[in-house]
C-alpha cells in the first residue's frame, strides 16, 4: 500500500511541475505580446485539435457501441423486463439527441471562434424567447421521462396477483437458500430468526401449520413459466441483492427488513436454449452486493419450466419435517396430528403417537 501511495504522490508531483511550466510559458507569451491582437502560441493547433477530438470521439463512441452489442443481454425473459428495456432505450434515445448536439457545438465553436486578429466578439446579453425555449422544452422532456419511469415502477412494484406462486429466497454468506410453500396450500409458514440452527437455516416456525409442507433447496430454484411468481426476499447476516439478469429482476436482501419482487417469466429454460442455440444455457441468480470474501460464489441456478413439470418437481421434494423428523418435537401438541402426515412413518416415536391419540386426533403417516 505504501508503494502505491508513493507512486501516486510521484505522479502528482510530476504533473504539478508540468502544469507550472506550462503556465510560465503562457505568462511569458502574454508579456512579450506587443498588441492584444497578437496570435497566441499554438492557437491554430489547439483549434484544430478540438476538431480532431470531436471526430475521433464520435468514431470511438460509435465503434464502442457496435462492438459491445454482442455482449448485451438477449431480449428479456419476463413481461416487466421488456417494458423496462423499452423504457431504457426510449430514455437513451431522448438523451442522446442533446448529448450529440451539445458536444458538437462545444467542440465546433471552440475551433470556429478561435482567436483571430482584429476580431471582436459580439455582445449578446439576453434573449428572453431563447431562454424560454431552452427552459420549457427540457422541463417537458424531463417531466415525460419522470412520469413514464414512475408509472412503470409503480406497476412493477404493485401487489402481486392472488394466484402467484410464493417462494422465499434468503441470502447468507455465501449462498442462497430457497424455501417453497409446498403443494398443499401455496402458503409459506412463519419464520423466526431465533429458531435458526445448523439444520433449520431459515428459522422455519413449526408452531405455524402452514410450515408443515414447506421445503428448502440451497442448490437451485424452480419456477413455473407464464405464471406470476412472488419472491419474498430476506438476508440472514449482511446486505445481499437478488439479481436475475435475464428477467431484469433486482431487489436488495436486507437483514431485518424483508423485501419482495413479483414477475412473470414467459420464456422457459428450454425456450432460451433454443433461442440462443445453446443447449447448456441456464438462468442464474447472482448477488450484486459485495457481501464478503466469498461473494463470487453466490450463484444459484434458476430453472423455468412448464406448470406440470414444476408441480411434479415440487411433489418429489422432501418437506423440512421429512428431512429432519426430529423437529416434530418442536410442533405444538395440538398440531402434531396434522404435522405427522409429513413425517416418515419409521421416524414417528411411540411418544408422538400417544400424544396425538391423547389429543383425540388420529395419526396419519402418509407422505405427501
For the cut 60, the answer to whether the pLDDT of residue 107 exceeds it is yes
Helix, strand, coil: what percent of the chain each, to 5? 50, 20, 30
Instruction: Give the CA diameter of the chain.
Output: 113
pLDDT of 277-322, one tens digit each?
A: 999 999 999 999 999 999 999 999 999 999 999 999 998 999 999 9
- Find, among 220, 218, 195, 217, the residue nearest to 207 by Cα: 195
299: closest CA among 238, 218, 201, 179? 218
Q: pLDDT band at residue 368, thresholds of 50, 70 and 90?
A: very low
Q: Does domain 165-364 have CATH number 3.40.50.300?
A: no
250 and 220 in contact (C-beta within 8 Å)?
Answer: no
Q: What integer pLDDT is reported at residue 366 of this predicted model?
A: 32
Domain ranges in the chain? 44-114+130-158, 165-364
Provide the phi-psi class of 274: left if phi over 0, else alpha when psi is between -120 and 50, else beta: alpha
Handedness of CA 341, 345, 351, 357 (dihedral sign): positive
Q: What is the mean pLDDT of residues 88-109?
A: 92
188 is written with which cell numbers? 409459506
DSSP secondary structure string for all residues of 182-220 = TTTTS-PPPB-GGG--SS-TT-B-TTSGGGTT-EEESSE
What integer pLDDT is reported at residue 247 of this predicted model?
Answer: 94
316-362 residue pLDDT tens: 999 999 999 999 888 898 888 888 887 776 655 655 555 544 444 43
Q: Would you say residue 267 has pLDDT above 50?
A: yes
pLDDT (tens digit, 9 = 90+) per residue, 140-179? 999 999 999 999 999 999 999 998 999 999 999 999 999 9
pLDDT of residue 365: 28
Q: Which helix (H) or strand (E) holds 354?
A: helix 350-358
Amino acid at each position: 500500500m505504501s508503494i502505491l501511495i508513493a507512486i501516486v504522490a510521484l505522479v502528482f508531483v510530476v504533473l504539478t511541475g508540468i502544469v507550472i511550466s506550462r503556465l510560465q510559458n503562457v505568462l511569458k507569451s502574454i508579456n512579450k505580446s506587443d498588441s492584444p491582437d497578437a496570435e497566441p502560441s499554438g492557437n491554430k493547433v489547439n483549434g484544430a485539435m478540438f476538431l480532431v477530438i470531436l471526430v475521433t470521439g464520435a468514431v470511438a463512441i460509435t465503434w464502442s457501441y457496435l462492438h459491445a452489442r454482442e455482449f448485451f443481454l438477449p431480449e428479456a425473459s419476463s413481461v416487466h423486463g421488456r417494458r423496462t428495456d423499452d423504457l431504457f432505450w426510449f430514455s437513451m434515445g431522448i438523451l442522446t439527441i442533446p448529448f450529440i448536439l451539445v458536444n458538437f457545438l462545444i467542440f465546433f465553436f471552440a475551433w470556429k471562434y478561435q482567436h483571430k486578429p482584429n476580431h471582436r466578439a459580439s455582445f449578446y446579453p439576453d434573449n428572453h424567447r431563447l431562454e424560454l425555449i431552452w427552459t420549457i422544452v427540457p422541463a417537458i422532456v424531463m417531466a415525460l421521462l419522470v412520469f413514464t419511469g414512475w408509472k412503470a415502477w409503480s406497476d412493477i412494484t404493485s401487489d402481486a396477483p392472488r394466484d402467484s406462486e410464493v417462494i422465499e429466497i434468503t441470502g447468507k454468506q455465501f449462498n442462497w437458500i430457497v424455501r417453497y410453500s409446498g403443494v398443499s396450500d401455496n402458503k409459506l409458514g412463519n419464520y423466526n430468526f431465533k429458531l435458526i440452527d445448523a439444520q433449520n437455516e431459515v428459522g422455519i416456525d413449526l408452531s405455524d401449520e402452514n410450515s408443515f409442507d414447506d421445503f428448502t433447496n440451497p442448490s437451485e430454484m424452480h419456477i413455473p413459466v407464464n405464471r406470476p411468481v412472488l419472491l419474498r426476499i430476506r438476508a440472514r447476516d449482511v446486505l445481499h441483492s437478488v439479481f436475475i439478469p435475464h428477467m431484469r429482476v433486482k431487489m436488495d436482501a436486507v437483514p431485518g427488513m424483508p423485501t419482495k419482487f413479483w414477475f412473470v417469466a414467459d420464456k422457459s429454460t428450454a425456450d432460451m436454449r433454443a433461442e440462443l442455440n445453446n443447449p447448456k444455457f441456464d438462468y442464474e441468480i447472482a448477488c450484486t452486493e459485495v457481501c464478503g470474501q466469498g461473494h463470487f460464489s453466490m450463484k444459484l441456478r434458476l430453472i423455468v419450466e412448464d406448470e406440470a413439470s414444476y408441480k411434479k418437481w415440487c411433489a418429489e421434494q422432501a418437506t423440512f419435517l421429512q428431512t429432519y423428523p426430529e423437529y416434530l418435537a418442536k410442533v405444538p401438541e395440538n398440531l402434531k396430528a396434522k404435522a405427522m402426515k409429513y413425517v416418515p412413518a419409521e421416524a414417528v416415536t411411540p411418544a408422538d403417537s400417544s400424544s396425538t391419540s391423547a389429543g383425540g386426533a388420529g395419526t396419519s403417516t402418509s407422505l405427501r
